[in-house]
Amino acid sequence: MTLIIALACKQGLVFAADSQATESAPGLSTRFPVEKIRPLGSSILWASSGDVGLFQQVDEAFARQTSPPWQQGIAELRTKLRYITVGVVKRSLDNSLPIPTTQQWHQGAILFCGYTGSTQKTHWLLELLTDGRNTRYEERGFHAIGSGTVFAQVAQAMLAHYDIKNRTLDEGIKIAYRVMDSAIEVAAAYIGPPIRIWTISEGDVHNLTDDELQAVRDSVGLWKQLERETLQRTASSGSGA
């Protein structure tokens, strides 16, 4: 299971994921850590939710591109990403045994974010489902995929007043960490730490180090403390104390 989120901020994009993978057998589930965010070229990130083996094949298909289209504008790139992904799904289905659960094996989604364009570069967020349907989300400024999506959506809604699209990249990192941390804390199973965060800004893709993530964790803790103190002050003011 998985939780992947992407935020569009004033200075760029924030991409975050949990690190837990789960394998199930009758009466038993096991978990192990895995890196879920992958770079694609020099200015695109992607992560997937669903059939791990299927998305390994998608990753291999991306790597086989002899003339990678990764610097094209989002309109052209959107079509190309769909063509590659749906092609992998079709071949996988053709090679699968015709049993009732086959279709279930191939359900899933990929979340892409990037900063591309041949003449005018732009930031974008794109969700691509394995059946080919796809939607852009940079205007909304937030999207999530995976089993923990509902937790992330609630957490993001509670932080919506911070106007994420007009926040700096550093502020967006803290918001993303808090959304992920809240979702992991609430979920009973299937998503888990450590939280991984990447950013895309003009001319730069960055994978936050463990030390940088610890600093983010400390800042989020201070943010929560200030909120508690603010609530206490406003409550005291409202009661006339």
**Tell me, what CATH number does 153's domain have?**
3.60.20.10
- DSSP state at residue 203: T
- 185-233 pLDDT, tens digit per residue, is 988 777 889 999 999 998 689 999 999 999 999 999 999 999 999 998 8
More confident call, 94 vs 108: 108
Please state the pTM of the whole predicted model. Answer: 0.88
CA separation for the pair 67, 36 (Å, rounded) = 25
At 105 the pLDDT is: 47
* Full residue range of the structural domain in which residue 236 is found: 210-241
Are residues 14 and 54 both part of a single domain? yes
CA separation for the pair 221, 223 (Å, rounded) = 5
- 101-133 pLDDT, tens digit per residue, is 544 445 789 999 999 876 667 899 999 998 899
Are residues 182 and 214 both part of a single domain? no
Give the residue among 92, 91, 126, 84 at the shortest CA–CA distance from 109: 126
Amino acid at 102: T
* Mean pLDDT (whole number) for 156-173: 92
Are residues 141 and 240 both part of a single domain? no
Are residues 190 and 230 both part of a single domain? no
- 12-36 pLDDT, tens digit per residue, is 999 999 998 777 767 777 777 889 9
Are residues 78 and 162 both part of a single domain? yes
* Mean pLDDT (whole number) for 165-173: 95
Are residues 23 and 38 both part of a single domain? yes
At 190 the pLDDT is: 76
Look at the chain and report how many structural domains it folds into: 2
Are residues 230 and 184 both part of a single domain? no
Are residues 197 and 105 both part of a single domain? yes
- 62-90 pLDDT, tens digit per residue, is 999 888 888 888 999 999 999 999 999 88
CA 110 to chain centre: 9
Average pLDDT, whole number, for the chain?
87
Are residues 203 and 229 both part of a single domain? no
- The strand ranges marked E within 117-218 are 122-129, 134-136, 142-146, 196-201, 204-207
Are residues 227 and 108 both part of a single domain? no
Are residues 191 and 74 both part of a single domain? yes
Res 142 pLDDT > 90: yes
Are residues 168 and 61 both part of a single domain? yes
